[in-house]
A and B are shown apart, each in its own frame.
Chain A
Amino acid sequence: MKHAFKSTAFAVAILVCGNAFAATELETLKSTVQTLMDRIEQLEAAEKARLVEAEKIKEARDVEKVSAAKKEARKQYASTPDSSGRVSSGNPSISVIGNFTGQRIRGSGDVRSSSFLPLSEAEFIFGANIDPHARLDVTVTAADGNMAVEEGFITAYLPWSTNLKAGRKFLPVGRVNEQHPHALVYADRPNGLVNLFGPEIFIGDGLLLDRPFFIGESVHTVTAGLFSTQNDVAFDPTGANQYAGLVRWTGLWDMNGSTTFELGGNYIQGKNGIAGNNPLTRIAGVHFALKNETVSHSGFALEGEWLRRWQQQGAGVATSLTDGSYLLATAALNRDWKLFSRLDYSRELNTALSSWNSESAVSIGGVWNVSEFQNLTLQYKHTRNALTEVAKDLGIAAGGKANAWYLRWVVAIGPHGAHGY
């Protein structure tokens, strides 16, 4: 091909030369031939480079295949029993959280109660991918001599970055409800949440769809779902199942490398079973968090949430209104030490007097992370004018006050993963 092209070029040049009489024309033709020769060499070099590149990419792909095969072999080896008979993969990761919380309460009416570091709650957490499309997480909790499935849900990885969670779950309401108690910096439950949902976490069985949206430097998560709940404070006093729906949005912005700001809101609505004519419970709330953490792990956080519950009581009875809120400030001195203070505020509408009964509480405390896997929390809380649910929880009469001390020791064994940000 090369020779044919060269010969043709020469023939054309000679033919043209035969009709050329002026020396300048001859020079021009020589130049043309030279240009054609250069072009041929360029094309040959480019073709050679392309072949070398293709060969290298093919080689790279082969190496990838070998590497993948080796990885697969390693996986197979890892999933076979070793010399001690253990199987190192294929099983779910299992971790156990021990939550030892002692408390000393002194309240109105000479109420006195205390306990010294009982195992107040043990969580057994199992989790693993079922297949490439789904994951199962189960948390079994043992508390007060009873065991129960606290959470147990399948996460299905749907297309379009959407996850479907099906099963029993701590409901994503505000900031705190979705978190396991051992992951919180304080040892108790904020009074505002106790007044709205009772002393236990607000749990639902159902379906939740959620999806993150990444917009510029921020991330927004939208959650929506339907669930049934047996919550006897917010929904059915008899503890019967009631059905409700939930929507939630949370946005998080990077203020700088160390600081983030979070803002969110949620709305829940469902029948409450208080009376026979399908009265509703509606809960709306907003939450925020400003967090700063330096590379040396010192920093601060200011976070809070406010929730309002409208609880219809049936035909002809005024709707009950309850607000629950808290404001938490945390100062991290370093990775191991934290100080915190929390203000709780709740109020409920006295429909007979059309006035609000207000409750407030202030907490201070400190946390020592002994290591990555255990921490100690000491907390003092003073509650004034306790509303019904908090009063019940503290063992005092409604409207009373109480001083409570909490000492909590949390330990974790097993591959317990990181908590949410």
Chain B
Amino acid sequence: MELTVTKMRLFLKTLSVVMFIIVIAPSYAHARLQVVATLPALGQVAKAVVGEDGDVRILARVGEDPHFVPPKPTLARHLARADLLLTVGLALEAGWLPSLIEFSRNPKIRPGQSGLLVGSENIEVLGAMEHADRSMGDVHPEGNPHWWLDPIRVANLSIALARRLAAIDPENGERYLRRAELFAKQLNDLVKLWIPKFEGFSPVVTYHDSYRYFVERFGINVIGYVEPKPGVEPSIRHLDDLVRLIGARGVKQVWVEPYHHGRVARRVASLSGAELLAMPDAVTGEGGEGYLAMIMKLLQSSLEEAQ
């Protein structure tokens, strides 16, 4: 009896010490501006704007499906130190980002705070739906979230990002704005140069509705998808219909995201005779050069294969 009480008292004392340590342990401090981007392409844009005046970390990996990033708690270590979190928005990251923000315990990047910049709130969104339910697949009623494949929207985002950074870090504000303006000009020039090259371009089929912003910018027509509905695996019947459509409409290219580059996409391409093109939504590369390399890869791949 006496021993039991002593053991319980000892345990409660130990427990109190642990709880005290949990509360009083020191927090993190850093001098340089810390920016975190959810996707590689956004990270490259952020780096183009931040330059040498801060550090940029990226949560998803190149080649990873942005809808399904494993929410490893180790990713939250970047968020814990972030002054600004740059996201795509439109529920693209809804399946994995909220738990990481929660785990990071960083109040600056919680929804509604100045440390969270949702990219989609700074661009014109396409594909918003008034009515949607899950019988339509994994749709995004707020709009198609793949806007970062449009260089003009990204140009606008980079200006918005620079303005937000200038508010957070006024000392370097002018440099952020100058870099963003330069980057935006590069993107605008690139679009002006490439739009005429896609005149008369054959329609394409894509796996998922990932390229909507890109094709609308460059005047390319998408006439079908390998997925019958977003996030839903295709049936044999749907694939049969799609192969017939490809033949009837003279489709020469089937575009597929690297993370969908599998048996089904290859089968559609081989049965229809269309060229299967892996069209990445991110490539490795540093800063703005990396983002530009991704856009150039999309543009060059589609034009080279069409010739």
Q: How many residues of A contact B (CB 8 A)?
A: 64
Expressed in whole angstroms, the Cα–Cα distance for A413 and B81 within the complex equals 34
Chain A contacts for B28, CB-based, 8 A: 214
Is the pair B76, A219 in contact by a Cβ cutoff of 8 Å? yes
Is the pair B23, A160 in contact by a Cβ cutoff of 8 Å? yes
Is the pair A61, B74 in contact by a Cβ cutoff of 8 Å? no
Summarize A's interface: helix, strand, loop or mixed.
Answer: mixed
Is the pair A222, B74 in contact by a Cβ cutoff of 8 Å? no
A315 within 8 A of partner (CB)? yes
Measured CB to CB, the residues of B under 8 A from A are 1, 4-5, 7-8, 11-12, 14-15, 18-19, 21-25, 27-28, 61, 63-65, 68, 70-74, 76-77, 80-81, 94-96, 98-99, 103-107, 110, 114, 121-122, 134, 137-138, 160, 162-164, 166-167, 170, 173-174, 177, 231-233, 258-259, 262
Task: Kindly report which residue of chain A lies nearest to residue B71, judged by CB atoms.
Answer: A421
Chain B contacts for A219, CB-based, 8 A: 73-74, 76-77
Is the pair B174, A257 in contact by a Cβ cutoff of 8 Å? no
Shortest C-beta distance, B40 to chain A (Å), equals 11
Shortest C-beta distance, B271 to chain A (Å), equals 21
Task: Kindly report which residue of chain B lies nearest to residue A279, judged by CB atoms.
Answer: B4
The 22 sampled A-B contact pairs (Cβ below 8 Å) are: A60-B162, A157-B105, A160-B23, A160-B27, A161-B80, A209-B19, A209-B22, A211-B25, A211-B105, A212-B80, A212-B104, A219-B74, A247-B18, A254-B74, A269-B8, A278-B5, A296-B262, A335-B68, A371-B232, A418-B98, A418-B99, A421-B72
Q: A222, A225, A277, A418: which contacts B96 (Cβ < 8 A)?
A: A418
Measured CB to CB, the residues of A under 8 A from B are 52-53, 56-57, 60-61, 63-64, 67-68, 71, 132, 157-158, 160-163, 209-214, 217-219, 221-222, 224-226, 245-247, 252-254, 257, 260, 269, 271, 277-280, 293, 295-297, 312, 315, 334-336, 371-373, 413, 415, 417-418, 420-421
Is the pair A60, B166 in contact by a Cβ cutoff of 8 Å? yes
Expressed in whole angstroms, the Cα–Cα distance for A415 and B72 within the complex equals 21
Chain A contacts for B259, CB-based, 8 A: 295-297
Answer whether A60 and B8 are a contact pair too, CB < 8 Å, given A53-B173, A296-B259, A417-B99.
no
Chain B contacts for A225, CB-based, 8 A: 19
Summarize B's interface: helix, strand, loop or mixed.
Answer: helix
- 15 new A-B contacts, CB < 8 A, other than A226-B15, A245-B12, A269-B7, are A60-B163, A60-B177, A161-B106, A162-B22, A211-B25, A212-B103, A225-B19, A245-B11, A245-B15, A254-B74, A260-B74, A278-B5, A280-B7, A295-B61, A371-B137
Chain B contacts for A245, CB-based, 8 A: 11-12, 15
Q: B63, B65, B173: which contacts A57 (Cβ < 8 A)?
A: B173
Q: A253, A278, A335: which contacts B1 (Cβ < 8 A)?
A: A278
Chain A contacts for B63, CB-based, 8 A: 295
Is the pair A421, B70 in contact by a Cβ cutoff of 8 Å? yes
Is the pair B8, A271 in contact by a Cβ cutoff of 8 Å? yes
Is the pair A214, B96 in contact by a Cβ cutoff of 8 Å? no
Shortest C-beta distance, A197 to chain B (Å), equals 20
Chain B contacts for A246, CB-based, 8 A: 15
Chain A contacts for B170, CB-based, 8 A: 57, 61
Give the one of B11, B22, B173, B177 with max A CB within 10 A: B22
Expressed in whole angstroms, the Cα–Cα distance for A297 and B160 within the complex equals 34
Is the pair B4, A213 in contact by a Cβ cutoff of 8 Å? no
Expressed in whole angstroms, the Cα–Cα distance for A95 and B221 within the complex equals 38
Task: Kindly report which residue of chain B lies nearest to residue A369, judged by CB atoms.
Answer: B233
Interchain residue pairs A-B with the least CB separation, the first 6: A161-B105, A214-B77, A60-B166, A53-B174, A57-B173, A60-B163
Is the pair A161, B27 in contact by a Cβ cutoff of 8 Å? yes
Expressed in whole angstroms, the Cα–Cα distance for A214 and B76 within the complex equals 8
Expressed in whole angstroms, the Cα–Cα distance for A315 and B233 within the complex equals 64
Chain B contacts for A372, CB-based, 8 A: 95, 138, 231
Q: B7, B12, B105: which contacts A163 (Cβ < 8 A)?
A: B105
Answer whether A252 and B7 are a contact pair too, CB < 8 Å, given A163-B105, A214-B77, A222-B18.
no
Shortest C-beta distance, B98 to chain A (Å), equals 6
Task: Kindly report which residue of chain A lies nearest to residue B113, judged by CB atoms.
Answer: A132
Task: Kindly report which residue of chain B lies nearest to residue A243, judged by CB atoms.
Answer: B8
Is the pair A214, B80 in contact by a Cβ cutoff of 8 Å? yes
Answer whether A224 and B70 are a contact pair too, CB < 8 Å, given A161-B105, A413-B134.
no
Is the pair B22, A224 in contact by a Cβ cutoff of 8 Å? yes
Shortest C-beta distance, A126 to chain B (Å), equals 16
Is the pair B1, A315 in contact by a Cβ cutoff of 8 Å? yes
Is the pair A71, B121 in contact by a Cβ cutoff of 8 Å? yes
Shortest C-beta distance, B119 to chain A (Å), equals 13
Is the pair B23, A209 in contact by a Cβ cutoff of 8 Å? yes
Is the pair B22, A60 in contact by a Cβ cutoff of 8 Å? no
Shortest C-beta distance, B260 to chain A (Å), equals 9
Is the pair A252, B72 in contact by a Cβ cutoff of 8 Å? yes
Shortest C-beta distance, B165 to chain A (Å), equals 9
Chain A contacts for B104, CB-based, 8 A: 212
Expressed in whole angstroms, the Cα–Cα distance for A119 and B173 within the complex equals 58
Task: Kindly report which residue of chain B lies nearest to residue A214, judged by CB atoms.
Answer: B77
Task: Kindly report which residue of chain B lies nearest to residue A216, judged by CB atoms.
Answer: B77
Expressed in whole angstroms, the Cα–Cα distance for A131 and B25 within the complex equals 26
Shortest C-beta distance, A280 to chain B (Å), equals 6
Q: A57, A64, A335: which contacts B164 (Cβ < 8 A)?
A: A64
Answer whether A297 and B68 are a contact pair too, CB < 8 Å, given A57-B174, A420-B99.
yes
Task: Kindly report which residue of chain A lies nearest to residue B70, judged by CB atoms.
Answer: A293
Is the pair A224, B73 in contact by a Cβ cutoff of 8 Å? no
Answer whether A312 and B4 are a contact pair too, CB < 8 Å, given A224-B19, A254-B72, A336-B233.
yes
Answer whether A160 and B24 are a contact pair too, CB < 8 Å, given A224-B18, A373-B134.
yes
Expressed in whole angstroms, the Cα–Cα distance for A217 and B76 within the complex equals 11
Task: Kindly report which residue of chain B lies nearest to residue A65, judged by CB atoms.
Answer: B167
Expressed in whole angstroms, the Cα–Cα distance for A52 and B175 within the complex equals 12
Chain A contacts for B166, CB-based, 8 A: 56-57, 60-61
Expressed in whole angstroms, the Cα–Cα distance for A417 and B98 within the complex equals 8
Chain B contacts for A212, CB-based, 8 A: 73, 76, 80, 103-105
Is the pair A295, B65 in contact by a Cβ cutoff of 8 Å? yes
